[in-house]
A and B are shown apart, each in its own frame.
Chain A
Amino acid sequence: DIQMTQSPASLSASLGETVTIECRASEDIYNGLAWYQQKPGKSPQLLIYNANSLHTGVPSRFSGSGSGTQYSLKINSLQSEDVASYFCQQYYDYPPWTFGGGTKLELK
């Protein structure tokens, strides 16, 4: 099974700041990576797929990048509504589909 490791586990940032979350796969996943946002008390929502493709309706301040085993999610100009937990997920080799442990983003 492919293991997904996210960092940091938690993050505190100010409004307007740029935030980066990292995700490392235990082997090459060839851009088969998605990012999800889960706001408090809500279900997860797809943000990005294929490592860098923005899902319909997702604000352009979100972007994804990376290749091989290393991927990142960047949020430009942090907004209050971005307070959430973020999860990466690999879908290159399955089953099982595997998720990172999550990053909890809070406002400073």
Chain B
Amino acid sequence: EVQLVESGGGLVQPGRSLKLSCAASGFTFSNYGMHWIRQAPTKGLEWVASISPSGGSTYYRDSVKGRFTISRDNAKSTLYLQMDSLRSEDTATYYCATDRGAGVMDAWGQGASVTVSS
């Protein structure tokens, strides 16, 4: 059974950093692209960043470029999202998701809550 477990969320002040992790199990992690998607309170879904199976290609939405870094450790079957220079508008639940191909997100974690506030 595919399992994705996010961790690392919390309350952080504007301008500070936070690193999310997504531990994967139940599938061959190194074969799949991965995504981070976020959802602000009572709002819709917003794609944040993606990474290829090898980690050689990464993609970001414009509003997080230069501030967020997606990475992966295939030996540990773990996906990461390093978030720097956090802003209040980054407040959201962050989900990791597997990519079954071309961006179809076929398995999602339970989410990690990030609150950016002073």
Contacts and interface: CB of A to CB of B under 8 A. Distances in A.
Interface in A51-75: 55
Interface string A97-108: 111111000000
Interface in B50-108: 50, 59-62, 95, 100, 102-108
A87 B104 CA distance: 13
Given A44-B45, A99-B45, A101-B44, A91 B108 contact: no
- Determine chain A's interface SS by DSSP, over half rule: loop
Given A96-B61, A97-B35, A91 B44 contact: no
Contacts of B61: 95-96
Interface size class of B (residues with CB under 8 A): 20 to 34
Interface size class of A (residues with CB under 8 A): 20 to 34
Interface string A22-63: 000000000010101000001111100100000100000000
* Residue from B50, B62, B103 whose CB has the most chain A CB atoms within 10 Å: B103
Contacts of A94: 59, 102-103
A46 B104 contact: yes
B47 A98 contact: yes
Interface of A: 32, 34, 36, 42-46, 49, 55, 87, 89, 91, 94-102
The 4 closest A-B pairs by CB, nearest first: A91-B103, A95-B59, A43-B108, A99-B45
